[in-house]
Amino acid sequence: MIRLSAITPSGQVHLGNYLGALRTWAREGTDEDVYFISDLHAMTSSHNPQRLRSLTREQFAVLIASGIAPESTCVQSDLIRELGALNWVLECTCTYGEAARMIQFKEKSLGRDSVRLSLLTYPVLMAADILLQGTAEVPVGEDQLQHVELARALARRFNHAYGEAFIVPTAVVPKVGARIKDLSDPTRKMDKSAQNSTGVVFVLDDPDLVRRKVRRAVSSTEGIANLTEILVSCTGKDPEDYTSRFADLKNVVAEAVIEELRPVRDRTLELLADPAELDRVRQAGAERARERAQHRLNAALRLSGLS
């Protein structure tokens, strides 16, 4: 059974991404699964080409360094020809009304006088990601449920109208794992695209920077709960009671985070220093994903009356 998840190179990978996603993918994933860097999705709002390329490369290295089976990883744009082809077929299966109804589109376009057309259509590309690989299960947060519903609807509609090409995927909402909050504003989740990164611990931050960021964490009730959550997530143990010794808590958390991230950071830096090896792993992953996609794409094109 294939599961598929992605991370978007809209910023550097942070502690929340690692504890809430990458680490789980490495621990629970099988080498049938697909874990990819969704660089095409990062283009739905204004982007910088050099930054996109280097973030994609860096995130891919972090993915591998996290211990996810390299065979199950890829970069989305390495399949751009296959995805582009299927995307067109699916756009011709989707209605304008369905796309315009997406809550994320409404939220992200609200109050802006110009948005990229791809912001409207990217859920169709996401359906292509899912259907191209024959995905059975898509683990998502509540905010992405509607997009997986769309992928289901498009798969069913296509299969019904033209013939069986697609596996109809199911969304699974994982039991609420840790939602890591921003250290300087624990009312918000830690976010890659946050305006201000003083409260965001990045996987590649050096130990001193991690210490400084943790030391500056706010000491509200939410702030303490967040630090405790991080500590439990990093050590796997129930913490002692630090409520009266906030400075101690911060020290313990900083060291636990540094230890948890150390192997990932070290391995990522090694990979980034060896571009030939990184490219080899990336190409092997792309090759495998392409092979797996080929017969399904061909079937979809043929059934649509193409080729």
Q: Under the rule (CB under 6 A), what is the footprint of ligand ATP?
A: 7-8, 10, 16-17, 20-21, 141, 178-180, 189-193
Q: Which is nearer to ligand ATP, 20 or 29 (CB)?
A: 20
Q: Which is nearer to ligand ATP, 17 or 77 (CB)?
A: 17
CA distances from 43 to 11, 48, 119, 126, 161 (A): 12, 9, 9, 13, 32
Q: Which is nearer to ligand ATP, 158 or 186 (CB)?
A: 186
Q: Which is nearer to ligand ATP, 38 or 93 (CB)?
A: 38
108 is known as an active-site residue: yes
> Residues 108, 175, 213, 250: which is the catalytic one?
108
Residue nearest to ligand ATP according to CB distances in the complex:
20
237 is known as an active-site residue: no
Minimum CB distance to ligand ATP, residue 170 (Å): 17
> Residues 106, 175, 192, 250: which is the catalytic one?
192
User: What single string gives the DSSP state of each residue in the chain?
Assistant: --BEEEE--SS--BHHHIIIIIHHHHHH--TTSEEEE-TTGGGSS---HHHHHHHHHHHHHHHHHTT--GGGEEEGGGGHHHHHHHHHHHHTTS-HHHHHT-HHHHHHHTT-S---HHHHHHHHHHHHHHHHTT-SEEE--GGGHHHHHHHHHHHHHHHHHH-------EEE-------PBPSS-TTSB--TT-S--TT--BTT--HHHHHHHHHT---SHHHHHHHHHHHHHHHSSPPP--TT-HHHHHHHHHHHHHHHHHHHHHHHHHHHT-HHHHHHHHHHHHHHHHHHHHHHHHHHHHHHT--
Q: Which is nearer to ligand ATP, 91 or 185 (CB)?
A: 185
Q: Which is nearer to ligand ATP, 121 or 226 (CB)?
A: 226
Which of 152, 113, 156 is closest to 135 using CA atoms? 152
Minimum CB distance to ligand ATP, residue 85 (Å): 25
Minimum CB distance to ligand ATP, residue 200 (Å): 9
Q: How far, in Å, CA of 116 to CA of 114, rounded?
A: 7
Query: Which residue's entry shows tokens 């994903």?
Result: 289
Minimum CB distance to ligand ATP, residue 165 (Å): 28
Minimum CB distance to ligand ATP, residue 129 (Å): 13
Minimum CB distance to ligand ATP, residue 242 (Å): 21
> Residues 189, 213, 237, 250: which is the catalytic one?
189
Q: How far, in Å, CA of 32 to CA of 59, rounded?
A: 21
Catalytic residues: 108, 189, 192
